[in-house]
Amino acid sequence: MIIDQELREQFGDRLEENVLLRDFTSIGVGGIADGFFRAERVDDLVEIVSFLSRREIPYFILGGGYNIVVSDVGFPGVVIKNEVRDIVFSAGSAEVIASSGVEIARLLMDCASRDFGGLEFLFGIPGTIGGAVYGNAGAFGHAIGDFVKSVTILLPGNKDRETKIIRHSGRWLEFQNRSSKIKEFSRLHPNENKPVILSVKLQLAQSKKGVILAKMQENFRQKKISQPLEAKSAGCFFLNPGEQKEQSAGYLLDGAKAKKLHIADAVVSKKHANFVINKNKATAEDIRRLANLMKDLVRAKFRTNLEEEIEYVGKW
Ligand SMILES: Cc1cc2nc3c(=O)[nH]c(=O)nc-3n(C[C@H](O)[C@H](O)[C@H](O)COP(=O)(O)OP(=O)(O)OC[C@H]3O[C@@H](n4cnc5c(N)ncnc54)[C@H](O)[C@@H]3O)c2cc1C
C-alpha cells in the first residue's frame, strides 16, 4: 500500500483510494489503483506530479483510457485522471492551445464553430489531446504530430531534483508511427515516471464550418464501416508493420485466420482483425493471452513480428 499519512494529509478527499480501473478503460478490464486523483486544473497536475515524483511514488496519467490494457492486479501507485480542459484560440492566426485533458471531439467541434479545419481526420478517434499527442494518433494517412507547433511538458523530478515545466517545438517529440519520444521513453523505461504533456499548440487551417462538419461526418461514416466502434475495445491492438495495405496488422491477422481465435470472453473482432474485444467478462489476462496467440499466428504464417500499439499498464 503506497498511500500513507503524508499523502492523505496533503490531498485530503481529492485522493480516492482503491479505485477499480476497469471502469475507466474502454476495453473494460483492470484491477485497483492504490490512489486515484482527478486533476481539473494545470496546477493540480503540477502539484500532484511534483509531490509524487519527489517521494518517488509511481504515477500513471490517464486520459480517456481508450488505448490501454490495465492488468487485473491493477496499478501500484497513483492514477492521475487528466480532466484539464482549457481551450484558447489565438486571435488572428489559425492556432489553438489545448490543455491535454481536452477531448478530441470537443476540440474539433469548437474549431469547426470558428471556421478552423485541418484536424477533421481525427474525428471519431476517442480520447484526449494528451493521449493523442503521446501516441501520435491519426487516420486516413494523417497524424496529429504534423499539426503540433509546440508542447508544454511537465518533467518529473526526484528527491534531488525539482519538477520542471518546459516548452518545446513539436519536432522535439520525434513523432513516429503511432508513437512519440515520450511513448518511446515509457517503452524503454517502464518503471519510471514519465513526462506529462500539459498543453499543445496546434496549427489549424482557415475553412468553413459546413465544409469541416461534412468532412468529419464522412470520416466517421467510413470508420464505422470498417471498425467495431460499438464494442468494448482499445482500438487497433497492434502497429502496422508497414504502410502498404498488405503490411497492415489487420490484413496479416485476417490472412493468418486470427478472427477465429478467442479466450473466454476475449475475442478477435469479425469486422476488423486488429481489434480485440471484451464481449462481457474478459480479464486482462485473457486479453493478453489472446494477443500472444494472434502474434504467434502471424509469425508462423508471415514471419512478421507484430508489436502492440496499445500499452499494458500496471503490474503483470
Ligand atoms: C473504438 C476505437 C477506435 C480508435 N480509433 C483510432 C484511430 O483511428 N486512430 C488512432 O490513432 N487511435 C485510435 N484509437 C485509440 C485511441 O483512441 C487513441 O490512442 C487516443 O489517442 C487515446 O487517447 P486517451 O486519452 O484515451 O489515452 P489513454 O488511453 O488514457 O492513454 C494512452 C497513453 O497516453 C498517455 N497519456 C495520456 N495523456 C497524457 C499526457 N497528458 N501526458 C503524457 N502521457 C499521456 C497515458 O499515460 C498512456 O500511456 C481508437 C480507440 C478506440 C477504442
97 Cα: distance to centroid of ligand 1 (angstroms): 19
287 lines ligand 1 (CB under 6 A): no
So what's the pLDDT on residue 204?
Answer: 97
The one catalytic residue in 236, 243, 303, 307 is 236
List all residues 6 or more positions away from 236 whose beta carbon is below 8 Å from its beta carbon. Answer: 249, 250, 272, 274, 275, 309
* Residue of minimum CA distance from atom 19 in ligand 1: 67
So what's the pLDDT on residue 3?
Answer: 87
So what's the pLDDT on residue 90?
Answer: 87
4 Cα: distance to centroid of ligand 1 (angstroms): 31
List all residues 6 or more positions away from 118 whose beta carbon is below 8 Å from its beta carbon. Answer: 94, 111, 147, 203, 204, 205, 207
Residue 123 pLDDT level (bands cut at 50, 70, 90): very high
100 lines ligand 1 (CB under 6 A): yes
**Atom of ligand 1 lying closest to residue 129 CA:** 25
146 Cα: distance to centroid of ligand 1 (angstroms): 17
β-pair partners for 96: 89, 202
**Atom of ligand 1 lying closest to residue 183 CA:** 49
> Model-level pTM?
0.97
Amino acid at 43: D
- Judged against a pLDDT cut of 70, whether residue 237 lies above it is answered with yes
> How high does pLDDT run on average in the chain?
97
- In whole angstroms, what is the distance from residue 177 CA to residue 158 CA? 31
237 lines ligand 1 (CB under 6 A): no
154 lines ligand 1 (CB under 6 A): no
Predicted confidence (pLDDT) per residue in 17-60, tens digit? 999 999 999 999 999 999 999 999 999 999 999 999 999 999 99
Predicted confidence (pLDDT) per residue in 165-223, tens digit? 999 999 999 999 999 999 999 999 999 999 999 999 999 999 999 999 999 999 999 99
Closest CA to 20 of 28, 30, 11, 10: 30
- Judged against a pLDDT cut of 70, whether residue 1 lies above it is answered with no
* Of the listed ranges 156-160, 273-277, 309-313, the one predicted with least confidence: 156-160
The verdict on whether 236 is a catalytic residue reads yes
The position carrying cell 464522412 is 218
Question: What kind and span of H or E run contains 270?
Answer: none
So what's the pLDDT on residue 38?
Answer: 98
CA atoms within 13 A on the CB side of 237: 31
The position carrying cell 461514416 is 221
Is 1 exposed, middle or buried (CB count within 10 Å of its CB: 0-12, 13-18, 19+)? exposed
Helix and strand tally (H, E) in the chain? 8, 18
Predicted confidence (pLDDT) per residue in 79-104, tens digit? 999 999 999 998 788 999 999 999 99
So what's the pLDDT on residue 91?
Answer: 77
So what's the pLDDT on residue 304?
Answer: 97
Q: Please state, for a pLDDT cut of 90, what percent of the chain lies above it.
A: 97
159 Cα: distance to centroid of ligand 1 (angstroms): 30
The verdict on whether 309 is a catalytic residue reads yes
- In whole angstroms, what is the distance from residue 301 CA to residue 303 CA? 6
Predicted confidence (pLDDT) per residue in 288-310, tens digit? 999 999 999 999 999 999 999 99
The one catalytic residue in 83, 111, 178, 288 is 178
DSSP 136: T
44 Cα: distance to centroid of ligand 1 (angstroms): 21
User: Are the C-beta atoms of 282 and 264 separated by less than 8 Å?
Assistant: yes
So what's the pLDDT on residue 174?
Answer: 98
> Mutate which of 134, 148, 176, 186 to test ligand 1's pocket (most atoms within 8 Å of Cβ)?
134
The verdict on whether 243 is a catalytic residue reads no
134 Cα: distance to centroid of ligand 1 (angstroms): 8
Question: Reduced to 3 states, what is the DSSP secondary structure of residue 306?
Answer: coil
Calculate Rg over the CA atoms of the chain: 20
* Residue of minimum CA distance from atom 14 in ligand 1: 235
3-state secondary structure labels for all residues of 11-51: HHHHEEEEEEHHHHCCCCCCCEEEEEEEECCHHHHHHHHHH
User: Are the C-beta atoms of 100 and 49 separated by less than 8 Å?
Assistant: no
The sign of the CA dihedral 313, 295, 23, 43 is: positive
- In whole angstroms, what is the distance from residue 167 CA to residue 244 CA? 36
For each of the domains in the chain, give its residue range(s) and CATH number, in order of start.
5-82 (3.30.43.10), 87-226 (3.30.465.10), 245-313 (3.90.78.10)
* Of the listed ranges 109-113, 116-120, 243-247, 253-257, the one predicted with least confidence: 243-247
274 lines ligand 1 (CB under 6 A): no
135 Cα: distance to centroid of ligand 1 (angstroms): 6
**Atom of ligand 1 lying closest to residue 137 CA:** 11
- Judged against a pLDDT cut of 90, whether residue 264 lies above it is answered with yes
- In whole angstroms, what is the distance from residue 29 CA to residue 85 CA? 26
61 lines ligand 1 (CB under 6 A): yes
CA atoms within 13 A on the CB side of 295: 15
